[in-house]
Amino acid sequence: MNRKDLQDKLLNDFPRLYMQYSWNKRDSCMPYGFPNVPGWFDILYKLSQDLEAEFQKLPDNIKKHAAKNGIFAASQVKQKFGRLRFHMDHPTPEMRTIISAAEGASCAACFICGADGKQRNMSVYCSEHGPDDL
């Protein structure tokens, strides 16, 4: 799958979580899209599933209000210093824990293929995709 296919899968499978993707860039950073890091797709997909499951545990009145206003929705997904960064509007403590675990997992996953890797030059590489000194 190419980058657009991966992005489209996230947007189609988790429309509520990524609702801010269609917002104006003045109101959210989500319209800038996802980082071009195909190796992290599985981490991001699992993160999305876990956040959506946590959202479903909330009381119905909160879910209804949140769905209209972009609360508990991703506001930015990016790569920074070789690590996944996931920002969300008003995450619960449980959601923060889920996000932190995914960000941590990205520190050991090759950003090209997702295999176990080590950080080199602000990116994580496996032995196949990284510099010769891995």
CB 122 within 8 A of CB 82: yes
CA-angle at 47, arms to 117 and 49, nearest 5°: 140
Q: pTM for this structure?
A: 0.91
pLDDT digits (tens, 9 = 90+) for 50-102: 999 999 999 999 999 888 788 999 999 999 988 999 999 999 999 999 999 99
Rounded CA separation 126/92 (Å)? 33
pLDDT value at residue 1: 62
Q: Which residues contact 124 (CB under 8 A, 6 or more apart)?
A: 39, 82, 106, 107, 108, 109, 110, 111, 117, 118
Domain residue spans of the chain: 3-125
Confidence of residue 134 (pLDDT cuts 50, 70, 90): very low
